[in-house]
């Protein structure tokens, strides 16, 4: 009888030990793709701290490829970076790395909280409460 009880305890411990704490962080299979990969996007609004800097991105065309590559081009010059969608602290984020330290593109390298998403618009905001930063993309 004692052996039987020990076996049940061992099975219960093994079963509970196999359970994991479900985390919402970095579960890409559960996250819908945010961007329309078939088209190009432009920055329709960029606000950094206390200044509207949208004009810095005039003429840029952004393409979010299915393979996680982000292409930014303007006037025949192209820059390649990366993008991905993650869950972080229960919030969906678009992580952008423009692949350059040059302004203005380097300003977009961040993990942006997704405020709104649809087939024609993406509204993003930095989660740093001490640094108000907002970025909007619109499909072209």
Ordered domains of the chain (ranges, CATH)? 21-139 (2.40.128.270)
The reported pLDDT for the residue numbered 90 is: 92
Chain-centroid distance of CA 24 in Å reads 14
pLDDT tens for the chain, 140 residues long, are: 554 444 444 444 444 454 444 444 544 444 555 565 668 999 999 999 999 999 999 999 999 998 999 999 999 999 999 999 999 999 999 999 999 999 999 999 999 999 999 889 999 999 988 889 999 999 99
Tell me the C-alpha distance between 117 and 120, whole Å: 8
Is residue 135 within 8 A of residue 48, CB to CB? The reply is no
* C-beta of residue 110 within 8 angstroms of C-beta of residue 47: no
> What was the pLDDT predicted at 4?
43
């Amino acid at each position: 009888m004692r052996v039987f009880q020990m076996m049940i305890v061992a099975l219960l411990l093994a079963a509970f030990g196999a359970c994991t704490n479900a985390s919402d962080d970095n579960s890409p299979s559960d996250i819908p793709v945010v961007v329309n990969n078939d088209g190009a996007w432009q920055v329709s609004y960029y606000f950094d701290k206390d200044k509207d800097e949208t004009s810095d991105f005039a003429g840029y065309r952004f393409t979010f490829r299915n393979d996680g590559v982000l292409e930014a081009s303007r006037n025949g010059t192209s820059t390649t970076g990366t993008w991905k969608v993650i869950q972080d602290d229960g919030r969906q984020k678009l992580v952008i790395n423009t692949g350059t330290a040059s302004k203005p593109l380097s300003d977009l390298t961040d993990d942006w909280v997704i405020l709104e998403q649809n087939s024609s618009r993406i509204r993003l905001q930095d989660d740093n409460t001490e640094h108000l930063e907002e970025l909007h993309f619109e499909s072209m």
